[in-house]
Amino acid sequence: MTHQVHAFEPPERFVAGTVGPPGERTFFLQARGGGRLVSVALEKVQVSLLAEKLEELLTEAQRRFGVDLPELAPVIGDNEPLDTPVDEEFRVGTLGLAFDVDTATVVIEAIEAGEVEPEVELGDEDEDEDDDEDDEPDEDLDRLRVRLTPQATRQFIERARRVVNAGRPPCPLCGQPLDPAGHLCPRHNGYHR
């Protein structure tokens, strides 16, 4: 079976978003450009970790390569819902991040879930590493590849954090999400809270 690489370099729009009510949300990365729309599903923790690692990547690019980073804008950026139809191309298993020094862009690659556990890789595109063993199993998996400017990356990070935090509020005692009907809090010895 042949694999597809959905490349958006750069996309017209690249966002994290959800479908469904809090507690039952499905998280997506969605890229639009050139008359194409690609949506890939992933876990909430992957979206949160992606935003965190992108922030680290931008900070490292500034430190090592002197990249000018845009200031955090007080204005809320793209807050529109996902474009429809939201058809899942694949479920993300691995997220790869790189900074391309030549073009001063961030490269995000979402790779279809295979036999391995979900993970996030952080690295520089210019560095050669001996990861040949890890790359072989992924060759036949679908991918979504997006190239963003530092400004677009900041906007993605801000929206991803808003999307992750827009779910159910956490219990003040244990941190687990509160359902509208409450939850069984381990800090209350299982009493309904």
Write the pLDDT tens digit of every residue in 158-178: 999 999 998 888 888 887 888
Task: Give the residue, 55 or 115, on which the prediction is more confident.
Answer: 55
Cα–Cα dist 142/34, whole Å? 19
Give the dihedral sign, CA 123/125/128/131: positive
Q: What is the pLDDT of residue 127?
A: 46
- State percent of the chain over pLDDT 70: 82
Residue 37 has pLDDT above 50, yes or no: yes
Q: What is the pLDDT of residues 73-132, one digit of tens each?
A: 555 678 899 999 999 999 999 999 999 999 999 999 999 998 645 455 555 555 444 444
Q: What is the pLDDT of residue 92?
A: 97
- Paired strand residues for 39: 30, 88
Q: What is the pLDDT of residue 102?
A: 94
Task: Give the residue, 137 or 106, on which the prediction is more confident.
Answer: 106
Q: What is the H or E stretch that residue 111 is in?
A: strand 105-112
Q: What is the H or E stretch that residue 30 is in?
A: strand 26-33
